[in-house]
């Protein structure tokens, strides 16, 4: 998000348009595809490990389109909405390309890209290698961290300064708390309550869980909520005899759609609003919601209809 924001600001300046008109669409667009693959966002990474899902499972699971294609559907519908909304407000800018730019360190770029591709390949073929994602990630980070530090002529300690330790510690604490809720039986109690409320009908669980998740994640950061709901949906699936992966999909798509609705629903939204203020183009809660709420609805409805139809067929 931070890397993209720098590029986005440069594009806005280059095109001569409001900073908010590019930063807000970028922030909410980043959110909507956060569950598309195994390596895209913390809840997706956790789901892959918790649900024993491989990278291909995020594309096709048991012969049916999986997380990636639902995220893609949301992205397409959201893009159409953004084109409609901002197309009426932004006049076609007159731009003139005056030069080109190049990489500052090609060898460093090659090494970093190679490491990222290798990481994706090893995680994608976990079903063959049987190596946990955590081991793969730490191994690749360690090896290529040293390689990149040598190329950049900086020490390893400096390289580790770029690690987002606050996020790592936050997620660690979150997993401990949710794990405690699971062991204590609270998660199971919630799962049984969901099943009872829906009358044991899959389609009602889809409707209730997705709508509740959409509304909840519009006002809280979705990471802790989704991690908790993954445990809950596992319990729901066990109770009604349904593959929990289908239920994981229900809460994941709704959670990421909801996170685009308001400026407080996701870290990327908060960052975008902060950058707008810093760049002299402040955005209020109301201004953000005017864009975010319709965007959330437009990205929620198409997958919701498909999942309800799938629920009716189960």
67-87 vs 244-258: helix axis angle to the nearest 10? 20
Q: What is the pLDDT of residues 173-199, one digit of tens each?
A: 766 776 777 777 776 777 778 788 888
What pLDDT was estimated at residue 166?
Answer: 67
Confidence band (pLDDT; 50, 70, 90) for 2?
Answer: low
Q: Are 59 and 276 in contact (CB under 8 A)?
A: no
> What is the greatest pairwise CA distance in the chain?
64
Q: Provide the token pair at 195.
A: 């099943």
How many Å apart are CA 304 and CA 213, to the nearest integer? 12
Judged by average pLDDT, the poorest of 78-82, 164-168, 175-179, 247-251 is 164-168
Encode the chain in three state secondary structure.
CHHHHHHHHHHHHHHCCCCHHHHHHHHHHHHHCCCCCCCCCHHHHHHHHHCCCCCHHHCEECCEECHHHHHHHHHHHHHHHHHHHHHCCCCCCCCCCCCCCCCCCHHHHHHHHHHHHHHHHHHHCHHHHCCCHHHHHHHHHHHHHHHHHHHHCCCHHHHHCCCCHHHHHHHHHHHHHHHHHHHHCHHHHHHHHHHHHCCCCHHHHHHHHHHHHHHHCCCCCHHHHHHHHHHHHHHHHHHHCCCHHHHHHHHHHHHHHHCCCCCCCCHHHHHHHHHHHHCCCCCCHHHHHHHHHHHHHHHHHHHHHHHHHHHHCC
Please give the average per-residue pLDDT across 7-28, as a whole number.
Answer: 78
What pLDDT was estimated at residue 225?
Answer: 85
Q: Provide the token pair at 174.
A: 């979150």
pLDDT at residue 223 greater than cutoff 80 = yes
Please give the average per-residue pLDDT across 285-296, as a whole number.
Answer: 93
What pLDDT was estimated at residue 164?
Answer: 61
pLDDT at residue 101 greater than cutoff 60 = no
CA 234 to chain centre: 20
How many Å apart are CA 109 and CA 103, to the nearest integer? 8
Please give the average per-residue pLDDT across 221-249, as a whole number.
Answer: 89
Question: Using alpha carbons only, what angle is made at residue 263 by residues 258 and 269, rounded to the nearest 5 degrees?
Answer: 85
What pLDDT was estimated at residue 271?
Answer: 78
Question: Using alpha carbons only, what angle is made at residue 270 by residues 265 and 272, rounded to the nearest 5 degrees?
Answer: 125
Q: Provide the token pair at 291.
A: 């864009």
Q: What is the pLDDT of residues 141-160, one digit of tens each?
A: 888 777 877 777 766 666 66
- Residue % of the chain over a pLDDT of 90: 28
- 256, burial (CB in 10 Å: exposed 0-12, middle 13-18, buried 19+): buried
90's CB contacts (< 8 A; 6+ apart) are 17, 21
pLDDT, greater one: 131 or 208: 208
The pair phi, psi for residue 65, each rounded to 5°, is -55, 140
What pLDDT was estimated at residue 99?
Answer: 54
Q: Provide the token pair at 40.
A: 């895209």
pLDDT at residue 250 greater than cutoff 80 = yes
Q: Are 183 and 177 in contact (CB under 8 A)?
A: no
What pLDDT was estimated at residue 220?
Answer: 82
Q: Are 292 and 298 in contact (CB under 8 A)?
A: no
- Mean pLDDT for the chain? 82
Please give the average per-residue pLDDT across 63-88, as a whole number.
Answer: 91
Please give the average per-residue pLDDT across 100-121, as a whole number.
Answer: 76
């Amino acid at each position: 998000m931070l890397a993209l924001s720098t590029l986005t600001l440069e594009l806005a300046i280059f095109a001569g348009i409001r900073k908010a008109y590019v930063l807000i669409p970028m922030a909410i667009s980043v959110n909507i595809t956060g569950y598309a693959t195994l390596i895209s966002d913390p809840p997706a990474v956790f789901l892959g490990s918790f649900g024993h899902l491989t990278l291909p499972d995020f594309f096709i699971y048991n012969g049916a389109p999986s997380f990636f294609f639902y995220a893609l559907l949301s992205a397409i519908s959201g893009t159409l909405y953004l084109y409609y909304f901002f197309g009426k407000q932004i006049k076609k800018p007159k731009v003139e390309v005056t030069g080109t730019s190049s990489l500052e360190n090609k060898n460093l770029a090659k090494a970093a890209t190679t490491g990222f591709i290798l990481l994706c390949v090893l995680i994608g073929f976990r079903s063959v290698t049987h190596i946990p994602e955590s081991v793969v990630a730490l191994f690749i980070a360690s090896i290529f961290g040293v390689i990149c530090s040598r190329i950049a002529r900086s020490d390893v300690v400096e390289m580790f300064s770029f690690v987002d330790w606050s996020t790592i510690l936050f997620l660690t604490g979150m997993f401990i708390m949710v794990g405690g809720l699971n062991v204590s039986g609270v998660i199971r109690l919630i799962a049984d309550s969901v099943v009872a409320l829906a009358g044991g009908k899959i389609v009602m669980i889809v409707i209730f869980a997705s709508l509740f998740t959409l509304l909840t994640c519009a006002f809280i950061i979705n990471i802790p909520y989704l991690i908790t709901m993954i445990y809950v949906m596992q319990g729901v699936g066990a109770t009604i005899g349904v593959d929990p992966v289908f239920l994981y999909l229900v809460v994941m798509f709704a959670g990421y759609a909801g996170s685009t609705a308001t400026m407080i629903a996701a870290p990327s939204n908060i960052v975008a609003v902060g950058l707008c203020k810093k760049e002299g183009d402040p955005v209020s809660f109301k201004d953000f919601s005017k864009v975010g709420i319709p965007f959330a609805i437009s990205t929620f409805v198409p997958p919701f209809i498909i999942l309800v139809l799938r629920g009716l067929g189960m």
